[in-house]
Structure 1
């Protein structure tokens, strides 16, 4: 719903801007070159929407993504509103665009809006990377990306400590206990930040053993 609304809003915004710019370029004061440049930009935008994975699409959408953000969209609306300033006065819909730009900045500055927006993005990401197995299906192995999940084991530390991403370790153990795979493959290389680098995967393996995973099932 959020993605559909965003696309519809973007298409309407691009259409309105294109129509207004074309009207301005249609005046006698503008040259044919300006109209050709406008058509070229319009073709690039349409091409990016049709083929977003192409090189042109990635570059154009990367630039356009700025205007999806509250600050970029507000600046865009203010720039459009400046077009309607003539002889020290601003014609319609200039005042409305300025009001909308200010409202966007105010709303986007509230924690409620930020949390809501983050939740919408997370829902889309969960649907995209959904990996839950169905109907008792088992994988060939459970792969645990363990790099950065544990703190360096310094001499004054008596036990292995987890980082913010350390929840991957108990989750992998949970999947193993649910019989989602016969092995846990731990991927974590040497700690380069230490003078004598040690393999982080050994610490992760030790934690998995503490959680009841048989050592012979950890690779």
Structure 2
């Protein structure tokens, strides 16, 4: 904790220094070190940035803070940074031509868009992040752990169609719900009566009835699980979690601290954020068995395509997943497309979110290792 605290203090000191450099500058031609304030807008802009960052650290789930930060964080994403550089470049275009600085802005913006839009680069980035989740997927083939609870981080797994009020549609992350049902069935086969804790708060930016608060998404997920054969008595609703941290805190407070379940759970989340999710739960003293879903690595356009190998040793079937020589790289793998830009942005968003969690002291390095295939018994 001392290391995390020092890191946060250094970050705040660096932030104050950067704002000071924005607001003040040395007066040119003076021998002494004098500071001259810039225009009023520079003061105001720097103050807004400072307040937004401080509020994001203190109250990350505040609606106004979320909206302001979504704007200020735009340059931290490939598309936002490219648009900002292009804007700077356009400001350098005059009747007599274009300045050298503006040309450089346009070149850099074009390079960023091209780089992060190339499929082979986007899938390489996502494979690096999902590598631990791939190992967890292999280890789960013969997992025999019995737990009290299966925790499903279900935020953004469903969408409410406005024209069909009684129906629920799945998003591209909806396979997490199916993963929860599979884990429940596995626990039943092991002779264990586990519960599924569905953690998902209200959908952001959506209001079905202006006179009533937005219902938590967890209730819609519970209906889907019940339709898949999971009894209502086995489904527990946690309706306040809007992100990984708030879900972990609510589960610890409501179930573990009250003695209703042990500190070892099966955790279901996206493969992209599984490592951050496990570290977040570990920081609260909760041991997790990873059960990842929503693998972008295994998409049809994955580069290179994954290769599955199933072998049998005695009565034990094992599965291995490799990326080497799965298929030859094709010319289309180097052709930029919008899907690859979106995938690259997801990876970068996860990186910055992990940095934020680290600065808040929400991540623990003491996470249970994923067992290797050699240590898994049939």
TM-score, length basis structure 2:
0.31
**Considering only CA atoms, is the larger Rg found in Structure 1 or Structure 2?**
1
- With normalisation by structure 1, the TM-score equals 0.49
**Structure whose residues are more often helix by fraction:** 1
Which one has more relative contact order, counting CA pairs under 8 Å at least 6 apart?
2
Specify which structure has the higher proportion of strand. Answer: 2
